[in-house]
Each structure stands twice: as structure tokens, then as C-alpha cells.
Amino acid sequence: MYDNPDGVMIGLEVHVQLNKLKTKVFCGCTTDYHNDPPNSHVCPVCLGLPGALPKINKKAVEAAIKVGLALNCKIEEHTQFYRKNYYYPDLPKGFQITQYDFPISSGGHIMIEGEDGEHRVGITRAHMEEDPGRLVHEGTIDKSKYTLIDYNRSGMALLEVVSDPDMRSPKEARRYLDKLRNILEYLDVFDGNLEGALRVDANISIMGGQRAEIKNISSHKGAERALLYEIVRQKNVLRRGGIVVLETRHFDEAREITMSMRSKEEAHDYRYFPEPDLVPLKISGWAPAIKETLPELPDARRLRFVEQYGITDDHAKALTSELKLAIFYENVAKKADPKTAAVWICDVLKGELNYRNLTIDSFKKEHMLSVIGLLASKKITEDGAVDIIRTLLDKGGSPDEIVAEKGLLKVEGDIVSTAAEEAIKENPQAVADFKAGKEKALNSLVGAVMKKTKGRADARAAREVLLGKLG
Amino acid sequence: MATINELNERIHAGSSEEIVAEYLERIDSSKLNAFITVAKENALARAKEIDSEGHEGSLAGIPVAIKDNISTKGILTTCASKILTGYVPPYDAHVIERLKEAGAVIIGKTNMDEFAMGTSTETSFYGPTRNPWDTDRVPGGSSGGSAAAVAGSEVPLALGSDTGGSVRCPASFCGVVGLKPTYGVISRYGLISYANSLEQIGPFATTVRDVATLFDVIAGYDARDSTSVDKEVNYSSALKNDVSGLKIGVPEEYFGEGTDENVEKTVWNAIHTLEDLGATRVEVKMPHTKYALSAYYIIAMSEASSNLARFDGMRYGLRTEDSDWHTTFSQVRAAGFGDEVKRRILLGTYALSAGYHDKYYLKALKVRTLIKQDFELAFKDADVLIAPTMPYPAFKLGEKIDDPLSLYLADVDTVPINLAGVPSISVPCGFSHELPIGMQVIGKHFDEATILRTAYTFEENTDFHTREPEGF
């Protein structure tokens, strides 16, 4: 049981860009703009030109319902769009079309790995809105003489997922974000690697103070850092006898601190009212069919992996934490021993990928299968297998080529035997020590055997052979 | 004043260019200030093209004037506001696409109250339009330029927009026919919004038949407008000189205090004419009419306060000296909007603000529901309702412009129709001291056919529509 000594309460508002849709949320402009010049994918609607009207993209609503269902939410009977009125240069209409009453979905939850085991985080609501344009500053925001606006992003479909204040530490917040992203990727509505794909506002309070809203967080790591900073800041304020006030703070990602925003910018009355240009959508009938199309989600897949492949829960969790990794694993597990595959993918390959900042896309399933095959037929040692994986990632090639090039084939038994005899002859002191009961002395003999065989011997086998000969 | 049929004879002989040139000349020498932009080159080129290549469309070669809040690709579109200085839309409104397909010649953009906010066309940044029946008087508004142009024979057909009476009021003041269709019948795509939930584009002409012909061209489903309704009807074919058995409801609430005696008398005479032609009169009660005006202005201003937020000088239109964006936004809007527009933005912002939202905006929506019920009940007994379009004939320029409240009150008989979303047509039904009077025939949702037939029958049996202002 986690006792949460500071009474930390964290709730997150996550803006997810539904960037796997083909078109924007209210017009026919493409969502595939990331490699194109600024303002090259715009039209009267997403530029908010006078007289242009929004038209709802049904696929975006379907994607939003899909997410709502995956987050265990209730889907509204009717959903309605509202205008959120405020001025900002990236907002071409002077209002954002969003949802207020009657959001697409509400009242759900997801499970995360909490401070004390499985922890439930409530989902208040998940609603649709449009993305504004992107402001580009020359240099830094405070020194730039001018601001450029790119409206390519304007009108991208966003889903704002609002959680209950159920997280009790920055670590839990990060786990929540990981899990949410994981689910979204399984649903195939979202590519987390694109610019602006996921943005976070965090609400955090500690016992004895009011909450602060932290804006401008653009990564999971950033969220954790911002929250850690904020807890220290709020605790310091209270310790000095101060008051933690309700305010909006800006996260400076470079300096990893939060700063109070000027009150002028936070005193907003958004004057929500129903968007007259969009009629209410009756969506209750859509949900059952969409539910049918829901893929297997991370939690379900994890349970299945344990059951079907007999692997440990930790391995299953690691494998399902990324959709591509899970698919990779299953492809390998179909053709090789599933347990060995889990060990090598989770305990070796994943670490090597992380170390190099690579994704599973950089490794071929065929290569994993041949490495496991070589191990199973005892042709290479475990050290040799690690060497192959590293070489594949660093230089490429194929496992067979690497084995040949580096001479990694495991050596024959009689070579080990000869090397053991030589080692015994050349290290009389170690032999004497061993016979006098110093078990550790055996290690230096094993080392000598390994040296003589240039590491191609299996260390465990070398030990056996030595024991036999000393025996 | 020439009708489409009369013009067609000349166009078929191959002289659309000649006709367009004649109208351009009249516009050029006019004192009405009905146009903000005259698309002379474009219009002549298009007419020439039609003359040489021929065109099968129902409006082939016919000049049409467009209210300046309807987007026209390549032609300046200002909403009669300084803030849209230099704004040339890169796209055509749905109705413009339809007109072009039908062979119409866009002759120019007409004057209006700034952003359609007004009842007299006096709030235009480009100066007021004058009423051809008496150039010291207003043409009505906000589509005053379109109505005056048609009444003054500067164009045979024109489009306006009607948010709270902006087609019917100037039709009434200028003695022409103007239709506000059922909400959703004409796509609003490209109409620069004043109050989205209330407004419709509407046609002007000198006869009911021409209004129906123009209406046929511009009505119909458009996927780009979510409030557009998928219903294809041929309105011209509904024009029959026959009202026998028609049940007319006359709501006494529309003849209330402030209604001019002559207007009241003239409209009643028109009703009696229709009774003589075989229609019968039924009792209707519309008890919530008295709340309509307040509800209308709250809803319209609330929507407007949001719709007009986009005019910030960042992407198009007026730009003042650059400063930080906060300052630049404010300066552009301070310099670009006129007083009436600022007043409505302020009032609308207030009505939507936290603490007032429920008291004003939500309450207005509730009243709107009650108004709709009034109409539903009335239409259980009546096929059409008939009432004055305006409580009085055209007033003098400058007479009310400094008294916003009395100007708002002029809309008392037109706004309930927009709140309910039903169609209404204003037709000339008489004169008071040489000024035209209009009556409106109000119909059920999507029943334009019946109000057009009623108006047509009245027109066929009277001659008010044939009178022309002197000197035009």
C-alpha cells in the first residue's frame, strides 16, 4: 500500500492528434504534411476564411469512439460541438471548435502499474477538437522579433483525454502516459513519432495547497520532470509558510522548470456555446459496430502471451508495451521456442535497441530466428549471440556472415579438453588452491580456458571439463 | 424593369453583352450607391462568351447582383466593412457556383449594412444606399443595395441574405419581391456569417416568377454546409394562379402598437383580395411574439461576437502598424469595425459571458423554442400566415440611425420567422404616400411552394408590382 506522504494528486489532459486519419477533422486537406513546406496544405475551411463552414469528418468521430471504448468509457447518445472563444494568432477563426457538454465519451478508466501494483486511473472524458496552427519563432520565444504561422496543422483532429486526479507520483503520471500511448497505437489511430502528436497539460496539487496547471509539456519524460519540479516547488512554498495558489504555469523544457504565466493570459472566459454550423450527431448507434472492430488491447494481449506462450508476466508486459514489439515477438514465437524468444527479445535485444535509441523496426525477425536457431543447435555461445545482435545493429549483415567473419562457431569438445589440460599444467598454484578448498580458484582456471579458446568455448562446459580433470 | 422572360428574348437573339452594358451604364450613372464593387470587365467578358458560345442554363446571360457578404472568387468581398479592405476571396460561395452553372452574369457586389447588422443600409463603411422611391429615404436593410438595385432597374435579379429580415425589409421598402427560404434550403457555404443559426441567402426580383426562377437555381443540397437539407424541389412549377381553399392565418400580434395605420389597412386589403379569390381566413394565436425581438438580438449578437473574432488582420483585410499581436489585434479591430458592429460584438460577448450566459443566451434559446411552437400550432389550422413585412414604410436617412433601439424595433415582424426557421416572402401590396408597402406570406417549413403560389396569385390579380419609381 502506497501511503503518498505529500498527498500528491495529479490529473492529466492529453491532447492526442488523430494523425492516422487521411484528412483533417473539418475539411478535405491531407494530414500528411510533415515533410511539406509551411501553409501548403490549407483551404478556406482550415484557414477560417470568411464564409467557409466546417464539415465533420466521420472517420474522425469513429476513431474517437474507438478510443472512448478502449478507455472503457460510456459513449454519449448525442454528441455536440461547441465554440471555445479566445484570441491567438495560431487560431484562424478566433475560436476553437471543441466539445463541452455532450462529449463523445466519458466515465472510463485504464489500469497502470502504480507505486503499489496495479492502479486504476479514471478517465473523466475524451472529447474531440481541432488543432490550431503552429507558431514558429526565429530563435527563442522571448528573443524572436517576429513569429511565423504554419497552418498546415490547423484543423487536425485532436482528441483530448482528461483523466481524474488519480495519479500519486510523477512516475505514475509517466506510466499513465506510456499506457495511454500504448493503447492508442494498438488502436491504429495515432503515430506517436510525428511532431505534435501528443501534448500534455498536467494538474498537480499537494496536501495543503491548491492545484497548478502546467502547460506546454510535449513528452512523457517532460511530464515526469515538470511534475517532479512542481512537487519540490510547492513543498518549498508550504515549508516557508506560503500559499500554493491556483494558477497556470508554463513548462520550460530546456531548463526543466515551471514558470508562472502572466495573469492576463490565464484569466480566460471562453464563452462556450454550441457551434451553430455543426448539427448534433446521434452516435449511440455507431458504437456497437465500432466495438466489433476493436483490436486486442495491451492488457488482453499480455494475459494471452502468458497463457499461450508460457512466458513470465514481466516478459509479457515488456513485449506488449509496444505494439510493434508484440507483433515482432509473435512472429518469432510462431517459429521458435517462445520462451527463448521472450528472453532474447526482452532481456537482450530491447536493451541493445534502447541503448542505441532504435526501435524494433531496425531489427529483422529472420535474424532473431537465426540467432535463436544457432543457440538452440548449440553452434554458438550466448556471448556469441549477443555479439551477433550488436554487430547486426551497428554494422548490418546477416548472422551467418557475422558468425563466419568473427569465428563465433562454438569449438569442439576435445579442444576444450586440451585447453583445460594446458591450463592445469600452467597454473599449479591455482590447482593447489582449489584442492585446498578455495572454490574461487576454479574461476581463474576457467578464465584461462576461455582465453586459450578465444572465447569460443562455453564457460559452463569449460567448468565441467575442468572439474572432471581435477576430480 | 425587365423580367427574365423579356430579357431572354433579347439574349436568344445574341445580345447579353448589350444588356449587361445597358445595366452597367445605369449603375454608373446612378445616385443610389447600391453597389460597392462593379465587376464590369468580368461581366462583359462573360456576357460576350455566352453570346458567342451559347448557354443552356435558365439564367444564361442574365445579370445578377450579389450582396457583398457572399464570397465571389476574384471579386472584392467586403461585407461593407473597412476591416475587409482589399479582401478578395479565393473561392466561390455555393450559390455563386450555382449561378455560374446556370449562365448568370455576376455584375457586381451590392451595398449593405456592415456585416449585415442593420435595418437601413446606413451602417455601411461605403456610405448609405438611397431608396429609389424617395432618395431621401433608406432602402431598408441590411440587403439595401440589392433591393434598391432591383427597384432602380440597375439589375433584374439580386441575392441578399436574411438573418432577421434583411431580405424582406428592403424588399418591402423598395417595392420588390424578396424571399427568405426555410433554414437549410440554400447552402450558406461562402456566406460570411453574421448569425449562423438564423440566416439564409434569399433572392430579389420584380416578380414572384423571377424570384422562383432564381430560387430554383440557388436552392438545393450542399455537403459543405452541415445544416443544408437534401430536398430537391422545382419551385417555378408551383406557380399557379389559384388560392381557392387556401387557409390564411392572420396573427393579430403582427399588427401591434407602432404599426402604421396605412400599412395595417393595406395589408388587410390584400388579405381581402385573396379571400375574394377563394382563400378563407382562420384564427391563429401567436402569444410569444412579443418576446421574439429580445431573443433574436441576444442570439444574433452572441453568434456574431464569435463569428467576427476571425477578423484580426493577420491573414487578410485591414492591417494597422505592426506591434505585438495583442496590440495589433486590438488596433485592427478598433480601426476596422464600425460602431454598430462593435456594439453587437460587445453585447454578444456580454450575453455569453460567465454569469450571464444562462440569464441571457440560454433564456433566449428557450424563447426560441416557444416561438417555434407558436408557428407549429398556427400551422395546424392555417396553410399560410399573412402579416405586414415592416410596421411602416421606408423612413428618412438619418432618422433612426442614432437611436439603435428604435432601429431594432423595426424588425419586430420579421425576426420571429428567422427564429422559427420557416420561409417567408415579401411582396408589394400597396402604397402609402407614394412609398411601397410589403406584406409577408409565411409558410410551413419547406413549403415555399405554397407561399410562392399565394404571392403569385396576388400578383397576377393586382398591379402593385408593375409600378416603378419615377426617374428610374
Does pLDDT of B352 surpass 80?
yes
Q: Give the percent of chain B with pLDDT over 70.
A: 100
pLDDT value of residue A418: 82
CA distance A142 to chain B (A): 12
SS3 B237: helix
pLDDT band at A449 (very low <50, low <70, confident <90, very high): confident
pLDDT band at B11 (very low <50, low <70, confident <90, very high): very high
Q: Are B120 and B141 in contact (CB under 8 A)?
A: yes
CATH for the stretch A413-470: 1.10.10.410
Our answer to whether residue B330 is catalytic in this structure is no
List, in sequence order, every beta strand (DSSP E) within B2-153: 35-38, 63-67, 105-110
pLDDT band at A405 (very low <50, low <70, confident <90, very high): confident
CA distance B314 to chain A (A): 7
Least confident segment among A195-199, A276-280, B276-280, B421-425: A195-199
A-contacting residues in B 60-99 (Cβ below 8 Å): 69-71, 77, 79, 84, 87, 89-91, 93
Domain that holds residue B38: 1-472
CB contact under 8 A, A50 and B93: no
Among chain B residues, CA nearest to A265: B326
CA distance B430 to chain A (A): 37
Kindly give the interhelix angle for A220-239 and A170-186, rounded to the nearest 10 degrees. 160
| Mean pLDDT value across residues A61-70 | 97
Cross-chain CB nearest to B309 (options A85, A269, A273): A85
Max mean pLDDT among A214-218, A460-464, B326-330, B423-427 falls in: B423-427
pLDDT value of residue A413: 64
Does pLDDT of B194 surpass 90?
yes
Cross-chain CB nearest to B190 (options A51, A83, A85): A51
Domain count, chain B: 1
Cβ-Cβ contacts under 8 Å, B350 against chain A: none
Find the chain A residues whose C-beta atoms sit closer than 8 A to any C-beta of B: 44, 47-56, 83, 85, 87-89, 92-95, 147, 149, 269, 271-273, 276-279
pLDDT value of residue A178: 94
CB contact under 8 A, A50 and B314: no
Cross-chain CB nearest to B309 (options A87, A89, A276): A87
Does pLDDT of A148 surpass 80?
yes
pLDDT band at A210 (very low <50, low <70, confident <90, very high): very high
Task: Return the half-sphere exposure (C-beta side, CA atoms, 13 A cut-off) of residue A442.
Answer: 18
pLDDT tens by residue, B288-331: 999 999 999 999 999 999 999 999 999 999 998 888 888 999 99
CATH number at residue B155: 3.90.1300.10
> Left if phi > 0, otherwise alpha if psi is -120 to 50, otherwise beta: which for B175?
left
Cβ-Cβ contacts under 8 Å, A85 against chain B: 305-306, 309, 352
pLDDT value of residue A452: 83
Does pLDDT of B82 surpass 50?
yes
Does pLDDT of B66 surpass 70?
yes
What's the grid cell of residue A10?
495529479
Distances (CA, A) of A403 to A382, A398, A410, B23, B407: 13, 9, 10, 90, 92
Cross-chain CB nearest to B310 (options A53, A93, A273): A93
CB contact under 8 A, B79 and A55: no
Q: How far apart are CA A390 and CA A375, in angstroms?
A: 16
pLDDT value of residue B269: 98
Interface residue B346 vs chain A (CB under 8 A):
no
The two beta strands, B424-432 and B280-282, are unpaired
Q: How far apart are CA A368 and CA A340, in angstroms?
A: 11
pLDDT tens by residue, B221-254: 999 999 999 887 789 999 999 999 999 999 999 9
pLDDT value of residue A421: 85
Q: What angle do CA A325, A328, A331 make, to 5 degrees?
A: 150
pLDDT tens by residue, B20-64: 999 999 999 999 999 999 999 999 999 999 999 999 999 999 999
Nearest in space to B141 (alpha carbons), one of B158, B116, B177? B116
> Left if phi > 0, otherwise alpha if psi is -120 to 50, otherwise beta: which for A51?
left
CB contact under 8 A, A50 and B192: yes
Does pLDDT of A169 surpass 90?
yes
CB contact under 8 A, A273 and B224: no
Please report, for chain A, the start and end positions of each structural domain, with discontinuous segments joined by +.
Answer: 9-291, 296-406, 413-470
3-state helix/strand/coil string of B374-407: HHHHHHHHCCEEEEECCCCCCCECCCCCCCHHHH
The DSSP call for residue A13 is E
Mean pLDDT taken over chain B: 96
CA distance A155 to chain B (A): 15
DSSP-assigned beta bridge partners for residue A162: A13, A125
Q: Give the percent of chain A with pLDDT over 70.
A: 97
| Mean pLDDT value across residues A318-328 | 94
Among chain B residues, CA nearest to A264: B326
Q: How far apart are CA B372 and CA A437, in angstroms?
A: 102
Mean pLDDT taken over chain A: 92
Q: How far apart are CA A279 and CA A274, in angstroms?
A: 9
| Mean pLDDT value across residues A90-117 | 96
Q: In sequence order, what DSSP letters do the residues of A344-407 get, joined into one string? A: IIIIIIHHHHHHTT--GGGS-HHHHHHHHHHHHTTSS-HHHHHHHHHHHHHH---HHHHHHHHT
Does pLDDT of A407 surpass 80?
no
List, in sequence order, every beta strand (DSSP E) within B119-199: 157-162, 177-180
Does pLDDT of A180 surpass 60?
yes
Q: Are B114 and B412 in contact (CB under 8 A)?
A: no
Q: Which of B30, B67, B187, B305 is catalytic?
A: B67
CB contact under 8 A, B309 and A279: no
CB contact under 8 A, A279 and B91: no
Q: Which of B161, B166, B172, B426 is catalytic?
A: B166
CA distance B281 to chain A (A): 37
| Mean pLDDT value across residues A174-178 | 96
Cβ-Cβ contacts under 8 Å, B109 against chain A: none
Q: How far apart are CA A319 and CA A342, in angstroms?
A: 8
Q: How far apart are CA A375 and CA A403, in angstroms?
A: 12
pLDDT band at A263 (very low <50, low <70, confident <90, very high): low
| Mean pLDDT value across residues A378-406 | 89
In a mutational test of the A interface, the residue from B224, B227, B326, B361 whose CB has the highest number of chain A CBs within 10 Å is: B224
Q: How far apart are CA A459 and CA A455, in angstroms?
A: 8
Our answer to whether residue B244 is catalytic in this structure is no
A-contacting residues in B 178-217 (Cβ below 8 Å): 188-193, 195-197
Our answer to whether residue B30 is catalytic in this structure is no
Does pLDDT of A264 surpass 50?
no
Q: Which of B30, B124, B142, B143 is catalytic?
A: B142
Cross-chain CB nearest to B310 (options A55, A92, A272): A92
pLDDT value of residue A417: 80
Does pLDDT of A410 surpass 90?
no
Interface residue B237 vs chain A (CB under 8 A):
no
Does pLDDT of B81 surpass 80?
yes
If one counts every other C-beta atom within 10 angstroms of the C-beta of residue A267, the result is 8
pLDDT value of residue A157: 98
Q: What angle do CA B268, B274, B278 make, to 5 degrees?
A: 140
